[in-house]
């Protein structure tokens, strides 16, 4: 059953929820028609140069080719079926079919509550509809596409989500008061370290404080990162528990007009916060954020920092020192030098209140601690864009990020759909020219190979193994229980 929800419909509750994950709906419209194709020589076949079409931009034709040749359907299915993908005695073959998918189509139409029997069914629907965006929703108690049949049949069962990954969404646009290099949806290598901090801090806390193991990190294609926690325990959390976990990460409470943007209560930092501070925040702040975002470069920027120091004398002392024309040591970045001045003055202050003792930490937390979009994490029913989608505005693929190597991730070099199709064209042309013939999947002849490899090695392989182990254990327990029953019957 296909449900169409238009942007301006009254019945927007679910659609608004879906769109709330990412505001690239208008970008779908803006990006359309930006394609330009020119033939380019890529290799020699005999005496003739091979001419291969060069793709640029983003449009429905490119997406059609991407879905036909590059989208990793099998890996996506292997993930979302959680081991229920072949004839294991404990397999629940309805599991994948109860998962909601939503498509955003080229013509601004949203199709919610779609479900697919298996991998082939999913592939056929995606290739047929060629969505500009695919969102993944919850697993429901029955097939979402048939929910209205149940209602009509007067079923007592209420259609409700029963499982959903615990998800986190962080957008760099929520750091605009910290960034000087970019605004809004733009990112560059100077501000991206803020997202590296998010991955480092959250990944460690989710593993060490909550004991989760199966965590997928994905670049959102433009301005942020998504996190999918896929352990069975995480997938079965209720909304209240999801809210509690999200709130565990709420440290930043600021707005542009609010001087104190974090409050770190108690005589010492919570162990999770002190670990974040020692392992990640302080280093990133001093080495990258302070100089990269020029936090103390001029009066306007240093006033934002000084207002977080609860001692008027210290603030004035620093203002006088920094306003004098004396330039700091040649080689040392002016922001780093001024931060050293600030630390020295705060430590020497006669004011010994809690606020004064904490203000250095608080400044670093304000500028670096993850700022989550809490609403996305709190509800089982919230949709989130699928990995390996293509962002319509940038044309970039939403590739997985290896959390162990997140400091090396560069959002400006993530492959675009046109780049991948050009790579594939070149590989095919070279084969035609008799250079090489490889019997591999199309995506393996392009930069998608690395993205899919990260998906497998950092996430999917471990998850699949543990899902099968869980099914095996359930099967053994069932066999043992039935043999005990048999013994009793004798």
Residues belonging to the active site: 100, 169, 171
Question: Token pair of 457, please?
Answer: 């090695």
Question: Smallest distance from the beta carbon of 338 to Zn ion, in angstroms?
Answer: 21
Window contacting Zn ion (CB under 5 A); options: 188-196, 316-324, 363-371, 390-398: 188-196
Binding status of residue 188 toward Zn ion by CB under 5 A: yes
Q: Which is nearer to Zn ion, 195 or 342 (CB)?
A: 195
Q: Which of 129, 146, 190, 475 binds Zn ion (CB under 5 A)?
A: 190
Of 93, 470, 91, 473, the C-alpha closest to 481 is 473
- One-character DSSP codes across 209-242: TT----EEEEE-SSSEEEEEE-SHHHHT--HHHH
Window contacting Zn ion (CB under 5 A); options: 19-27, 180-188, 222-230, 478-486: 180-188
Residue 62 CB neighbour total at 10 angstroms: 23
CA distance 303 to 282: 21
104, β-bridge pairs: 110, 133
Alpha carbon 1 to chain centroid, angstroms: 29
Question: Smallest distance from the beta carbon of 21 to Zn ion, in angstroms?
Answer: 22
4, β-bridge pairs: 111
**Number of residues located near Zn ion, criterion CB under 5 A:** 5
Q: Which of 35, 93, 178, 182 binds Zn ion (CB under 5 A)?
A: 182
397, β-bridge pairs: 390
CA distance 130 to 65: 9
Q: Which is nearer to Zn ion, 19 or 288 (CB)?
A: 288
Residue 110 belongs to what H/E stretch? strand 110-114
Q: Which is nearer to Zn ion, 65 or 290 (CB)?
A: 290
Q: Which is nearer to Zn ion, 138 or 195 (CB)?
A: 195
Q: Which of 119, 139, 191, 202 binds Zn ion (CB under 5 A)?
A: 191
Q: Which is nearer to Zn ion, 183 or 299 (CB)?
A: 183
Question: Smallest distance from the beta carbon of 191 to Zn ion, in angstroms?
Answer: 3
Q: Which is nearer to Zn ion, 194 or 429 (CB)?
A: 194
Window contacting Zn ion (CB under 5 A); options: 92-100, 190-198, 305-313, 372-380: 190-198
Of 208, 216, 214, 192, the C-alpha closest to 273 is 208
Question: Smallest distance from the beta carbon of 170 to Zn ion, in angstroms?
Answer: 15
Binding status of residue 181 toward Zn ion by CB under 5 A: yes
SS3 104: strand
9-14: Cβ within 8 A, 24+ apart: 14/112, 14/381
Question: Smallest distance from the beta carbon of 282 to Zn ion, in angstroms?
Answer: 21
For 114, 167, 183, 260, 386, the CA distances from 397, given in Å and listed in that order, are 23, 19, 22, 38, 10
Question: Smallest distance from the beta carbon of 434 to Zn ion, in angstroms?
Answer: 45
- Contacts for 286 with CB less than 8 Å, ≥ 6 apart: 336, 339
Positions touching Zn ion (CB under 5 A) are 181-182, 188, 190-191
């Amino acid at each position: 059953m296909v449900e169409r929800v238009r942007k301006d419909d009254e019945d927007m509750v679910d659609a608004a929820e879906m769109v709330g994950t990412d505001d690239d709906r208008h970008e779908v419209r803006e990006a359309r028609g930006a394609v330009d194709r020119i033939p380019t020589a890529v290799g020699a076949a005999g005496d003739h140069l091979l001419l291969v079409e060069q793709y640029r931009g983003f449009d429905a034709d490119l997406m059609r080719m991407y879905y036909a040749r590059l989208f990793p359907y099998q890996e996506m299915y292997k993930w979302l079926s959680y081991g229920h993908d072949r004839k294991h005695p404990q397999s629940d073959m309805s599991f994948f079919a109860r998962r909601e998918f939503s498509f955003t189509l080229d013509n601004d139409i949203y199709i919610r509550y779609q479900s697919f029997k298996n991998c082939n069914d999913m592939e056929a629907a995606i290739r047929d509809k060629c969505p500009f965006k695919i969102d993944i929703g919850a697993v429901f108690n029955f097939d979402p596409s048939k929910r209205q049949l149940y209602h009509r049949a007067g079923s007592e069962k209420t259609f409700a989500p029963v499982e959903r990954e615990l998800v986190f969404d962080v957008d760099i646009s929520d750091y605009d008061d910290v960034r000087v290099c970019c605004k809004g949806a733009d990112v560059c290598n100077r501000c991206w370290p803020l997202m590296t901090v998010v991955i480092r801090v959250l990944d460690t806390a989710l593993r060490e404080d909550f004991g989760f193991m199966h965590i997928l990190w994905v670049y959102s294609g433009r301005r942020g990162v998504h996190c999918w926690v896929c352990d069975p325990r995480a997938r079965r959390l209720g909304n209240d528990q999801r809210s509690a976990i999200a709130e565990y990460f709420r440290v930043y409470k600021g707005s542009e007009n609010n001087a104190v943007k974090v409050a770190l209560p108690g005589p010492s930092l919570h162990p999770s916060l002190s670990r974040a501070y020692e392992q990640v925040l302080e280093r990133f702040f001093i080495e990258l954020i302070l100089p990269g975002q020029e936090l103390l470069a001029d009066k306007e920027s240093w006033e934002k920092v000084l207002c977080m120091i609860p001692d008027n004398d210290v603030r004035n002392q620093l203002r006088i020192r920094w306003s004098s024309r004396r330039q700091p040591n040649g080689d040392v970045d002016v922001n780093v030098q001024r931060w050293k001045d600030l630390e020295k003055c705060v430590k020497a202050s006669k004011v010994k209140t809690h606020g004064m003792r904490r203000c250095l930490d608080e400044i670093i937390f304000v500028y670096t601690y993850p700022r989550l979009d809490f609403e996305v994490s709190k509800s089982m029913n919230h949709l989130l864009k699928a990995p390996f989608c293509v962002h319509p505005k940038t044309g970039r693929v939403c590739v997985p990020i290896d959390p162990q190597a997140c400091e090396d991730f560069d959002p400006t070099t993530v492959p675009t759909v046109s780049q991948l199709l050009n790579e594939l064209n070149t590989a095919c042309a070279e084969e035609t020219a008799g250079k090489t013939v490889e019997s591999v999947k199309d995506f393996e002849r392009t930069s998608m190979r690395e993205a899919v490899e990260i998906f497998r090695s950092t996430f999917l392989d471990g998850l699949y193994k543990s899902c099968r182990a869980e099914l095996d254990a359930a099967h053994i327990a069932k066999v043992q229980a039935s043999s005990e029953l048999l013994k009793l019957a004798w």
